[in-house]
Structure 1
Amino acid sequence: MPLFSAALWRNARVWAGRWLLVAGLLALGGILWWLTQVYQTREEHTRHQIERELHAINSLQTQSVLDWREQRLIDASTLADDSLFSLSAAQWLQVPEAVVLTQRMQERLRILQERAKYTAVYLLNRHGQLLLTPNGSSTGQLPEPEMQALQDALAQAVVTVVEPRRDNFFAFPFFSVIVPVFEGTEPAGAVWLVSDVRTTLYPKLQAWPTPRETAESTLFSRHGDEVRTLNPLRHHNEEVSAFQLSELHSDDPVLQAMAGARGVFYGHDYRGHAVMAMANAVPDSPWIMVSKIDVAEAFADTQLREILALSLPVSLLLLLAGLVFAYGQRRAWQRERELKTQLQRNMRWLEGAQKAASVGYFAFDLEQKQFLMSSMGNAIFGMPYTGVLTLEDWVHSIPAEDRERVLSIHREAIAQRTPLRHQYRIQRMDNQALRWVEIWGEYEDEADHERVTRMIGTIQDITQRKQSEQELANYRTALEEKVRLDPMTQIPNRRALDEHVVLEWHRAMRNHAPLSVLMIDVDHFKAYNDHYGHVAGDECLRQVATAIASCASRAGELAARYGGEEFSVLLPDTNTTQAQQSAERVRAAIEALALEHAHSSAARCITVSIGLTTIVPVFASEPDVPEVCDIPKTVPLAAQVLFEQADAALYQAKQQGRNRVAVYASTAPETA
């Protein structure tokens, strides 16, 4: 009977274990099924959120483009309804040689261009000939698309537009608005308003409210068998303006949009990447706005977040099981560890404090001529822990160039019985690396106070602090230099030039030496900006600045940007003949750049006009200047004469036809 009961009990425990295992597996399966359903539901919810975000962004950008287009039509309609402007324009077209009327028309066109931020504004006759701009008279004929728009505007008495396009007439893509001008009921001419879409329209397409690496919005229109893009493609290696329809995937978002797809849809873009896209037509235009983002990026963070969130219950269960197991194990060895921890705690605290502060302790015995070092002290010197550092080893650890100075400081402290605090360099014994250390020490006397026998103190590794101090000093120096650089051309600015002029003025007064200045102006730079755009204008100024700086290579010479398209070169110890030679080198160097300038009357490329002057500063007494003053009060004012004379010579160079060097008429020494 007892044997039967024992066997029955063993069988019961086996079956109970099996049933518990089955129950655990079923519970685990149920939990996994529930987690899968929750994940799918949350994923679908997230998909709808991302689609709504893409829909909202596309709608906002489409409205922004529409507002941009309508604003230009409003400006044009306002101008067309301005009867006084139409009357003035018609009168000028009849009498274009009237000076006063011409000036009024130029000022009106200039106000229109500056306030509405148009890239160019032209007044033209009804035959499409360009006659007047805000900067003066103009020549040429309207391009063909604008000519057709002009005929429609005059025939229908309405404002017409030419959608954004590229043409050799301008060096950038542009949008045209033709505003008809009537004299009574008879067409007299028109105003051509030009907008650079790179600076006015592209930013509206590039703005994306959330940081997305693959997000992209593009305006497309269909022309026969090709699809044209208005703005550059963000992820295309080369600038592409059109795609053949046969080159695109069958599910490309562009083809779907051209086929009438609207709202959110999916496909593969020109890179072959799976994307989520949204399309909208821009009202009253042939353009369709397509906004898209890679599916992988759109759901990457969400998938990871959902997996982490849903794995939390499982992790908690595993953590709970682990905690139960760890608790049992911990109780087994906790008591044994407790005593050992108590014994080592004080030593750990001491060693930790030393390591945290990189501080070691030492005691130097003057009679034994050796240091008793702590473990951290030995580590600082790069030697194995022996507890002893001989005086000879310590002396050899100091670099030869610092050795005598360091030893002298220690001898003086011993002789005067004063506390020692000193920073010096050492060479580690293991790898010969240079380190900075700081010594704090006090000397102990014998009982009779007549003889110093021992020094005790601390040694700290301060290499990182020294490096930080040096980096901070270097940063301050670099920052001061940066303040004196022109940010666009990367040559010295007006501030650096003013400071250098004062220094060289004083030096020239002391040495009775000549001081010359070149004032340089880029010829017809405003016309260059109007034709090529401000992006090309900035690049032109950078190349001109580099050429000027390369010509100022002697010691003391300084090339700087004076302001706008004006530059200046200071030439110390240089007479008029030498300065004129330097100016010719500058003029030739810039002409050698061969930067095309189709609207310059001086040459077919970028040129400069240069004015120069030379002054020999001398001292002069003033009753209101104290004798103890090292720098006369009139120095800044007298130095300004240099720039005034050079500017006058620059004006002469412009009057004589530009692209030349002019010398100031009077070169008599100037009194400071």
Structure 2
Amino acid sequence: MTPHASDSALYRTLLESTRAIPWKIDWATATFSYIGPQIEDLLGWAPTSWRTVQDWAERMHPDDRERVVNFCITQSQCGVDHEADYRALTARGDYVWIRDVVHVVRDLQGGVVALVGFMFDITERKQNEEKLLQLQQELEDLSFRDGLTGVANRRKFDAVLAREWQDARRNARPLSLLMFDVDFFKRYNDQYGHVEGDECLRRVARALERAAHRPQDCLARYGGEEFVLLLPGSDAPAARAVAQRCMQEISGAGIAHAGSPLGEQLTVSVGIGTIIPGAHDEPMPFLDEVDRRLYRAKHGGRNRIEDAALA
């Protein structure tokens, strides 16, 4: 064996002993001139079945194909080394995450002669990344949830209000807000204890959730025994109808309140506001006005709705 042949054999042995899968594509003919035998262990396709770049493209997940193929062709035409992640089809019919690391070989004039590179199995890494993203999403969801009732918390409400306010202003559409306060809740705690008081708030939240059934509506615990319900796209009559439905749901829940001067069952007071935000309107004055209406509902006898027109 000549020294050159010996070197080639050594290089091939080194390449084929790694977990990475080496390959080479002739640019002019778009054919594989070489692909490592490890490809069969990973994907189940024999090296001899990798003839053209079409075989490579067809063994790619349909959702990845156009993006990856266009990216690799563009980068290669420009003579730029690059990497691409995609899902490769196995002979068994499932998919494996691959990272292709590509080096562009050019002649003395700068023309592309060949592409050489390595395929790496990154399935485990992708799975770990997906688990991490899922965990991050779960943590974010928890950070926006009220720990007691499970509905959105004040932080989430503030974020949704800011977003919906801008959308209502941009599209000149109404935005309604309902504020609820559990009537005589201090007396409830004194009568039944704080453990039952917590359960009471959970039952109120569930009743309000049943009444606010649109996906775009945002129910949140505003603090203590107060809840808010944001109704994007709802005008004043629709908001009042929702408020009445909320009161009916709470009444239907049959939460006993022996300490209430209003009767034997728990009730709520409601303040309502509706606005189409103008260029100079801001959320805080609107919130303050709805809060004042809630105050009037409480001091006007409780178990009632206050929705007088905005001044």
Structure 2 unmatched ranges of 5 or more: 1-9
Deviates more, 1:536-545 or 1:507-516: 507-516
SS at match of 2:18: helix
Supply the distance in 1 between the matched residues of 2:74 and 2:300 (Cα, whole angstroms): 77
1:464-488 alpha-carbon deviations (Å, 9 max, x no partner): 2223223323332332222111111
Is 1:419 the counterpart of 2:89 in the alignment? no
Name the structure 2 match of 1:195. Answer: none
The correspondence of residues 263-342 of structure 1 with structure 2, limited to 5 A, is none
Partner of 2:270: 610
Deviation of residue 449 (structure 1)? 5.8
Question: 1:653 and 2:270 equivalent?
Answer: no
Separation in 2, partners of 1:531, 1:425: 62
- 1:443 to 1:562, Cα distance in 2 relative to 1, 3 A: closer
Counterpart of 1:362 (choices 23, 35, 49) is: 23
Q: Which has the higher contact order (CA 8 A, sep 6+)?
A: 2
Distance 1:615 1:401, change over 3 A: closer
8 Å CA contact retained: 1:523, 1:608: yes
How far does the alpha carbon of each residue in 1:575-596 deviate from its partner, in whole angstroms, 9 at most, with x for none?
A: 3333222211111110111111
Amino acid at match of 1:364: I
Q: Which residue of 2 aligns with 1:390?
A: 51
Q: Deviations over 1:594-650 (max 9, x none)?
A: 111111111201111112233343224xxxxxxxxxxxxxx5xx4222232222222
The Cα of 1:546 is off from its aligned counterpart by 1.1
Is the contact made by 2:23 and 2:32 (CA closer than 8 Å) also made in structure 1?
no
Indicate whether 1:535 and 2:195 are aligned.
yes
In structure 1, what is the Cα distance between the partners aligned to 2:177 and 2:303?
Answer: 18
2:222 & 2:63 partners in 1: Cα distance?
48
Q: Of residues 40, 56, 60 in structure 2, which corresponds to 1:378? A: 40
The residue type paired with residue 228 of structure 2 is S
Aligned partners of 1:378 and 1:387 also within 8 Å? no
Change (3 A) 1:374 1:546: same
The normalised TM-score by structure 1 is 0.41
Q: Who is 1:428 aligned against?
A: 90
State the distance in 2 between where 1:455 and 1:651 align.
73
d(CA) in 1 for partners of 2:105, 2:16: 28
Query: How far apart in 1 are the matches of 2:304 and 2:279?
Result: 34
Secondary structure of the residue aligned to 1:645 is: helix
**Quick one: distance in 1 between partners of 2:274 and 2:31?**
71
- 8 A Cα contact 1:364 1:456, kept in partner: yes
Q: CA deviation at 1:563?
A: 0.6
Letter in 2 for 1:378: E
How far apart in 2 are the matches of 1:369 and 1:511? 54
Classify 1:394/1:510 alpha carbon distance in 2 versus 1 (closer, same or farther; 3 Å).
closer
Letter in 1 for 2:21: G
What SS is found at the alignment partner of 2:191?
helix
Equivalent residue number for residue 516 of structure 1: 176
1:601 partner letter = P
Aligned to 1:574: 234
388 and 608 in structure 1: CA distance in 2 versus 1, 3 angstrom threshold? closer
Whether 1:592 and 2:249 are equivalent positions in the alignment is: no
User: 1:580 & 1:486 partners in 2: Cα distance?
Assistant: 25
* Structure-2 change in CA distance of 1:381 and 1:528 (3 Å): same
Aligned twin of 2:310? 667
**What SS class does the counterpart of residue 582 from structure 1 fall into?**
helix
Structure of larger gyration radius? 1
Cα 1:593–1:415 shift into 2, 3 Å? closer
Go from structure 1 to structure 2 and tell me whether the alpha carbon gap of 1:381 and 1:658 turns closer, same or farther (over 3 Å shift).
same
Deviation, structure 1 residue 520: 0.8
Which secondary structure does the structure 2 equivalent of 1:613 belong to? Answer: strand
| Residue 515 of structure 1: how far off its partner (Å) | 2.9
Change (3 A) 1:449 1:387: farther
Deviations 1:30-73 (A, max 9, x none): xxxxxxxxxxxxxxxxxxxxxxxxxxxxxxxxxxxxxxxxxxxx
Given that 2:24 and 2:116 are in contact with CA atoms closer than 8 Å, whether structure 1 keeps it comes out as: yes
TM-score if structure 2 supplies the norm length? 0.83
Give, in whole Å, the separation in 2 of the partners of 1:395 and 1:613: 57
Q: Cα 1:362–1:585, aligned 2, differ >3 Å: closer, same or farther?
A: same
**Deviation digits for residues 497-534 of structure 1, max 9, x if unmatched?**
22222222223333443333222111121122122221
CA contact 1:517–1:642 (8 Å) conserved in 2: no
Aligned-pair CA distance for 1:453: 4.8
Alpha-carbon spacing, 1:428–1:609, altered in 2? closer, same or farther (3 Å): same
Amino acid at match of 1:661: I
- Once the two structures are TM-superposed, the CA of residue 364 in structure 1 deviates from its matched residue by 3.1
Q: CA separation in 1, counterparts of 2:30 and 2:216? A: 60
Native 8 Å contact 1:519 1:643 kept in 2: no
Which residue number corresponds to residue 152 of structure 2?
A: 492
The code of the aligned residue for 1:563 comes to G
Aligned residues: 299
Aligned residue for 1:497, secondary structure, equals helix
Change (3 A) 1:407 1:642: closer
